[in-house]
DNA sequence: ACCGCCGGGTGCC
DNA sequence: ACCGCCGGGTGCC
């Protein structure tokens, strides 16, 4: 399994890399309709492979669908099958039936599939020439929590999922990017245009298809077919908005069309050449030619083409509708009669005959989807070309708009979008489906072959995705270059920065607000971390209080609660440090601005100020009367209330396990048990007593008499108590119950027994809770040690800032 | 022989 | 399917 972060990383990487280096052109073919029935939403991203199973496809003799060695097959439930309601049909990429899964296995699979416990993939590795049955390797994928249910369910019916095997059922791509078709000597527009023209007219194979003998073979799915895979006549124009104009994509689009024409010398008689002089008026004439006069090129025989189709349908968001209209109004020459119809508003002409006699019909996504399923004239017309402006709008395949767009019949399809992928790889599917890029227009195949591998971090999958996108997309940016020269020349751009000074009054208010906010957050973060650390040791260490600061609290409320939390934290034995003496806080008090100091330290600060005393940390005004302190009684009371009923914790268990084992090995060994939470030491007393360990506490809470009684087996030590010079060489095994911020503190502690006078080997055991702040603290300790080794002597200010960095890295910010 | 055995017909779901 | 299964033909060795 990959961690969440890792997966996310890949998702993002793909987004970035997909469009890198995209000014190269490529020639593939296009496709026409493939409307396969299987387009259930794959319950995507968290899928893991449960296991695999060798199954049997039966009834081959009754169907025409054939498969190649290694070919992926689809498994489709047929609940309506008259012979068996559990039937599972097996089909190849084009949806041709190959056979059925044999009955008993189908019964087991039906349950799993119908209850959405797993998705099942099939690949036929051998036996493809069989006449009656063939083996199929079935892979079960799904969410982790369903894994056992699926394995059990299959096992109950005698099918054992092989869970051990490797999961590389993806043979990695031998696929090279399709050959570039572009002519490097062309200007970038020409390049774009020749690309567009090529996309509408060329006959090369789509990505991942190649000719093998008489057959066309898909290298990713291993499917082959006698018929040439349908071409994708169109693609995605994803040029950066700033590249050509700031007016709108439609301008750019028409722009591109202009160049397409000029570069291909396809001007109508009577049209002037536009190679040199080029303005929008001419451009639109060209647009008219390319987009309106239908048969742009007829050198390629295409049986699917409906020669009567002449209309281009443009779908755009309402907000840009007027841009398109403006473009047409401004730039269409009077001598060109171009029928442009705006299909919008309640009075719109819904006649199919009328609409299909237009040159251009413009409408919005909303109108289209409102019409869809309601005798929509738009869906009854055979369009010459459909253009989706701001095509990323339809990235959600479940949206009505998207379904409406997919239902359009067209010979050529274009998507204009500056951001074809907005959030993740998933966004791309709708675009491919709209373009009818086989076999990915069927969701299932897209998911199996591209999306899942990419999301799970498969490099080959990512590469395939890149190849795919590259083939159908044109994307350049202002900084793109062609043959070492910038793609476009823009007027020079200068960015000036003018600095503005705040007035003194403004500055003071600003600083106040900033400190207030920053310190509140810092303190709160520290408190949260502190609580997590307590959790790692024992749940009862936490004071029982409502645990959130509330999102809607006012600053004053926030402060109140913050102070309350600090009180609780300090009351349970904190290692907070005082910013005045830089030592552990003694006699802690909390200021109104929620900072903690030793009472004598802050008292001294206040007394040295003549007028207004300010907090050393945030410079808020502080008054002696507002200091909140912790009477000794309160701390003890806290002790008493939270220990209603003793219970154990994983860390307690870990310690006891070690102690019991070591005592068996050598009963003379003496232990030092160290924690920074004195209450944790108290909690430990119970099990120690229970197992007959004699112990003393060295944190001052234990009376002097008991300390001097006969030599105990265990010494319980508070990390910061005991002071310097304590000699504990009697102990030879140290248990550090929880990590300290500062590795040096731990070192000091260990040195109390690892010093002159020690006769035994010293063993130190540190307990670190897996997958918790404690692990992160250890990392930070290590970094600190590295730092210390590299450069000696860090100042106090360094210490302060690094503390904040510690917090950041702890929270993985 | 109300069996066993043989060999031809047959075959998905 | 170079199987399994079914049902008709057959019947000591």
Per-residue model confidence as pLDDT tens digits over A315-365 = 998 888 888 887 777 766 666 677 889 999 888 999 999 999 988 999 999
A470 part of a folded domain: yes
**Residue that wins the pLDDT comparison between A727 and A427:** A427
A118 CA to C1 C1', in Å?
32
pLDDT at A520: 67
A208 shares its domain with A312? yes
Stretch A570-591: mean pLDDT, rounded?
70
Residue A424 forms part of a structural domain? yes
Asked if A58 CB < 7 A from strand B, the reply is yes
- Asked whether residue A353 falls in the same domain as residue A276, the answer is yes
What are A124's strand-pairing partners? A71
Query: Does one domain contain both A415 and A268?
Result: yes
Q: Is residue A29 part of a domain?
A: no
Q: Of all nucleotides in the shown strands, which has a C1' nearest the CA of A131?
A: C1
Distances (CA, A) of A626 to A371, A603, A623, A629: 69, 12, 5, 9
Mark out the alpha helices in A115-146 (DSSP H runs).
none
Distance of C1' in C2 from CA in A117, Å: 39
Mean pLDDT within A202-217: 86
Where on strand C do bases come within 7 A of a protein Cβ? 1
Judge if A599 and A729 occupy the same domain. no
Q: Please tell me whether residues A532 and A617 are part of one structural domain.
A: yes
> Does residue A59 approach strand B to less than 7 Å at its CB?
yes
The pLDDT value given to residue A99: 95
Q: Looking at beta carbons, which pairs linking A641-647 to residues 24 or more positions away fall under 8 Å? A: A642/A540, A642/A543, A642/A544, A642/A679, A643/A540, A643/A682, A643/A683, A646/A683, A646/A686, A647/A539, A647/A540
CA distance A738 to A676: 7
Distance A296 CA to B2 C1' (A): 85
Q: Is residue A596 part of a domain?
A: yes
- Asked if A453 and A570 sit in the same domain, the reply is no
Nucleotide nearest A107 (Cα, C1'): B13
Count of domains forming chain A: 5
Task: Reduce the DSSP state of residue A18 to 3 states and report it.
Answer: helix
> In the 8-state DSSP scheme, what is residue A380?
G
Instruction: Give me the pLDDT at residue A494, please.
Output: 66
* CATH number of the domain encompassing residue A472: 3.40.50.10810
Cα maximum dimension of chain A: 115
pLDDT tens digits along A10-20: 333 333 334 33
Q: Report cis status (omega within 30 of 0) of the bond before A253.
A: no
Distance A46 CA to B12 C1' (A): 35
Q: A263 and A382: one domain?
A: yes
Cα three-residue angle A324-A325-A326, rounded to 5 degrees? 90
Nucleotides of B under 7 A from a protein CB: 12-13
Nearest nucleotide, C1' to the C-alpha of A61? Answer: B12
Residue numbers of the domain that contains A375: 7-21+188-478
Residues paired with A361 in a beta bridge: A313, A341
CA–C1' gap, A109 and C4, in angstroms = 24
Band of pLDDT at residue A703, cut at 50, 70 and 90: very low
Asked whether residue A307 falls in the same domain as residue A396, the answer is yes
Mean pLDDT of A759-783: 85
Query: DSSP state, A123?
Result: E
Of the candidates A219, A135, A134, the one whose C-alpha atom is nearest the C-alpha of residue A176 is A219
| Residue A574, pLDDT score | 56
The predicted pLDDT at position A294 comes to 33
Distance between CA atoms of residues A344 and A328, nearest Å? 16
Q: CATH number for the domain including A84?
A: 3.30.70.2330
Q: Do the Cβ atoms of A1 and A449 come closer than 8 Å?
A: no
Residues 6 or more apart whose Cβ sits within 8 Å of residue A316? A250, A324, A362, A363, A364, A365, A388, A389, A390
Give the residue from A203, A312, A320, A205 showing the smallest Cα distance to A257. A312
Q: Do A225 and A281 fall into the same domain?
A: yes
Q: What is the pLDDT of residues A136-166, one digit of tens each?
A: 999 999 999 999 999 999 998 889 898 866 4
Nucleotide nearest to A104 (CA to C1'): B13
A267 near A273, Cβ under 8 Å? Answer: yes
Considering the domain boundaries, does residue A631 fall inside one? yes
C1'-nearest nucleotide to the CA of A89 = B13
Residue A626 neighbours by CB distance under 10 Å? 12
Does residue A595 lie within any of the structural domains? yes
Measuring from the CA of residue A130 to each C1', which nucleotide is nearest?
C1
Q: How far is the CA of A172 from the C1' of C1 (A)?
A: 36
Nucleotide of closest approach to A57 (CA, C1'): B12
**Does residue A349 lie within 7 Å of nucleic acid chain C, judged by its CB?**
no
User: What is the SS3 string spanning A153-164?
Assistant: HHHHCCCCCECC
Q: Residue A566: is its pLDDT beyond 80?
A: no
What is the CATH classification number for the domain harbouring A723?
Answer: 3.40.50.300
* Distance between the alpha carbon (CA) of A230 and the C1' atom of C11, Å: 67
A799 shares its domain with A744: no
Domain co-membership, A599 together with A719: no
Residue A695 has pLDDT above 80, yes or no: yes
Among the ranges given (A35-39, A188-192, A238-242, A722-726), the one the predictor scored with the smallest mean pLDDT: A35-39
The neighbour count for residue A481, using CB atoms within 10 Å, is 13
**CA of A61 and C1' of C3: distance in angstroms?**
16
**DSSP readout, A207-267?**
TTEEEETTEEEETTT--EESSPPPP--EEEE---TTTT-SS-HHHHHHHHHHHHHHHHT-P
Which range has the worst mean pLDDT, A294-298, A330-334, A722-726? A294-298
What's the pLDDT tens digit per position in A508-521? Answer: 888 887 777 776 66
Identify any residues that bridge with A234 across adjacent strands, giving them in sequence order: A413
Q: Where is mean pLDDT largest: A124-138, A328-342, A573-587? A: A124-138
In chain A, residues 746 through 805 whose Cβ sits under 7 angstroms from any atom of nucleic acid strand C = none
A133 CB contact with strand C at below 7 Å = yes
| A132 CB contact with strand C at below 7 Å | yes
| Coil, strand or helix at A119 | strand
Distance A160 CA to B3 C1' (A): 40
Q: What integer pLDDT is reported at residue A721 of this predicted model?
A: 60
- Work out whether strand A224-225 and strand A312-316 pair parallel, antiparallel, or are unpaired: unpaired
The reply to whether the CB atom of residue A131 sits less than 7 A from any atom in nucleic acid chain B is no
Which residues 2-61 of A interface with strand C at a CB distance below 7 A? 58, 61
**Has residue A283 got a pLDDT over 70?**
no
CB proximity A85–strand B (7 Å threshold): no
Nearest-5° Cα angle at A810, A807 to A811: 90
Q: Which nucleotide is nearest to A59 (CA to C1')?
A: B12
Q: How sure is the predictor about A264, in pLDDT bands with cuts at 50, 70 and 90?
A: very low
A597 within 8 A of A580, measured Cβ to Cβ: yes
Indicate if CB(A62) is under 7 A from strand C: no
Confidence band, pLDDT 50/70/90 cuts, at residue A266: very low
Q: Say whether the CB atom of A130 is under 7 angstroms from strand C.
A: yes
The Cα–Cα gap between A747 and A741 comes to: 12
pLDDT at A178: 22
Q: Evaluate if residue A571 carries a pLDDT over 50.
A: yes
Residues A691 and A717 grouped into a single domain: yes
User: Does strand B come within 7 Å of the CB of A77?
Assistant: no
Q: Which of A620, A640, A660 is the last residue of a domain?
A: A640
Q: Is residue A167 part of a domain?
A: no
- Find the Å distance, CA of residue A41 to C1' of nucleotide B13: 26
For residue A398, the model assigns a pLDDT of 87
Quickly tell me which residue has 């056992």 as its tokens. Answer: A148
A128 is near strand C: CB distance < 7 Å: no
Give dist(CA A726, CA A94) in Å, integer. Answer: 80
Q: Mean of the per-residue pLDDT values for chain A?
A: 73
Q: Please report, rounded to a whole number, the percentage of residues in chain A having pLDDT higher than 90.
A: 25
The CA–C1' separation of A221 and C1, in angstroms, is 29
Q: Residue A539 burial (CB < 10 Å; 0-12/13-18/19+)?
A: exposed
Q: Tell whether A600 is covered by a domain.
A: yes
Which of A585, A620, A640 represents a domain boundary (last residue)? Answer: A640
């Amino acid at each position: 399994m990959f961690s969440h972060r890792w997966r996310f990383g890949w998702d993002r990487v793909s987004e970035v890399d997909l469009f890198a280096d995209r000014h190269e052109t490529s020639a593939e073919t296009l496709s026409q309709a493939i409307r396969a029935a299987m387009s259930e939403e794959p319950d995507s991203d968290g899928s893991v492979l449960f296991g695999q199973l060798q199954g049997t496809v039966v009834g081959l003799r009754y169907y025409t669908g054939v498969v190649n060695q290694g070919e992926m097959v689809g498994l489709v439930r047929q609940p309506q099958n008259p012979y068996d309601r559990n039937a599972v049909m097996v089909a190849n990429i084009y949806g041709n039936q190959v056979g059925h899964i044999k009955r008993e296995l189908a019964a087991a699979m039906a349950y799993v599939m119908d209850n959405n416990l797993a998705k099942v993939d099939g690949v036929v590795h051998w036996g493809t020439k069989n006449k009656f049955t063939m083996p199929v390797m079935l892979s079960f994928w799904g969410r982790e929590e369903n894994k056992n249910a699926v394995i059990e369910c299959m096992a109950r019916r005698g099918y054992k999922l092989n869970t051990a095997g490797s999961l590389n059922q993806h043979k990695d791509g031998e696929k090279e990017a399709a050959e570039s078709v572009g002519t490097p000597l062309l200007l970038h527009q020409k390049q774009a245009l020749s690309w567009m023209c090529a996309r509408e007219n060329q006959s090369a194979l789509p990505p991942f298809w190649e000719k093998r003998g008489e057959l066309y073979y898909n290298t990713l799915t291993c499917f082959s077919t006698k018929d040439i895979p349908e071409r994708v006549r169109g693609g995605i124009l994803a040029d950066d908005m700033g590249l050509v104009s700031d007016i709108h994509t439609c301008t750019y689009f028409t722009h591109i069309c202009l160049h397409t024409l000029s570069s291909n010398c396809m001007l109508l008689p009577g049209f002037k050449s536009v190679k040199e002089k080029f303005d929008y008026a001419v451009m639109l004439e060209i647009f008219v030619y390319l987009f309106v006069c239908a048969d742009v090129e007829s050198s390629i025989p295409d049986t699917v083409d409906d020669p009567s189709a002449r209309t281009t349908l443009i779908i755009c968001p309402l907000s840009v509708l007027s841009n398109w209209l403006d473009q047409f109004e401004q730039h269409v020459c009077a001598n060109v009669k171009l029928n442009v119809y705006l299909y919008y508003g309640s009075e719109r002409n819904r006649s199919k005959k009328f609409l299909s006699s237009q040159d251009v019909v413009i409408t919005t996504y909303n109108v289209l989807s409102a019409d869809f399923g309601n005798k929509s004239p738009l869906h009854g017309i055979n369009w010459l070309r459909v253009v989706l402006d701001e095509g990323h709008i339809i990235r959600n395949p479940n949206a009505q708009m998207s379904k409406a767009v997919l239902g359009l019949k067209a010979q050529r399809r274009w998507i204009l979008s500056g951001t074809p992928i907005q959030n993740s790889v998933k966004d791309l599917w709708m675009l491919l489906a709209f373009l009818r890029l086989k076999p990915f227009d069927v969701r299932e195949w897209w998911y199996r072959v591209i999306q899942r591998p990419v999301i799970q971090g498969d490099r080959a999958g990512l590469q395939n995705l890149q190849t795919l996108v590259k083939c159908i997309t044109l994307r350049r940016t202002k900084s793109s270059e062609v043959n070492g020269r910038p793609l476009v020349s823009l007027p020079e751009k200068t960015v000036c920065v003018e600095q503005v000074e705040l007035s003194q009054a403004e500055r003071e208010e600003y600083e106040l607000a900033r400190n207030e906010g920053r310190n509140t957050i810092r303190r709160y973060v520290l408190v949260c971390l502190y609580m997590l650390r307590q959790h790692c040791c024992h749940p009862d260490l936490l004071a029982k209080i409502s645990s959130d600061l509330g999102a809607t609290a006012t600053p004053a409320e926030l402060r109140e609660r913050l102070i309350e939390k600090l009180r609780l934290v300090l009351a349970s034995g904190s290692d907070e440090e005082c910013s005045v003496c830089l030592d552990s806080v003694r006699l802690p008090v909390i200021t109104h601005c929620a900072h903690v100091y030793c009472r004598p330290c802050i008292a001294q600060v206040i007394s040295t100020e003549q007028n207004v005393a300010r907090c050393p940390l945030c410079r808020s005004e502080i008054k002696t009367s507002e200091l909140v302190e912790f009477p000794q009684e309160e701390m003890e009371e806290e002790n008493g209330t939270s220990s209603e009923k003793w219970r154990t914790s994983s860390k307690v268990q870990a310690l006891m396990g070690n102690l019991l084992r070591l005592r068996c090995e050598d009963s003379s060994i003496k232990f030092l048990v160290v924690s920074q939470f004195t209450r944790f030491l108290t909690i430990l007393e119970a099990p120690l007593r229970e197992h007959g360990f004699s112990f003393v506490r060295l944190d001052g809470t234990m009376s002097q008499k008991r300390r001097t009684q006969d030599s105990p087996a265990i010494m319980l030590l508070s990390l910061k108590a005991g002071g310097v010079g304590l000699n504990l060489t009697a102990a030879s095994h140290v248990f550090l119950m929880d990590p300290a911020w500062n590795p040096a503190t731990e070192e000091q502690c260990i040195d109390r027994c690892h010093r002159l006078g020690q006769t035994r080997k010293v063993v130190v055991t540190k307990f670190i809770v897996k997958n918790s702040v404690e692990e992160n603290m250890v990392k930070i300790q290590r970094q600190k040690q590295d730092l210390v080794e590299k450069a000696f002597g860090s100042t106090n200010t360094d210490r302060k800032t690094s503390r904040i960095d510690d917090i950041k890295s702890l929270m993985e910010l």
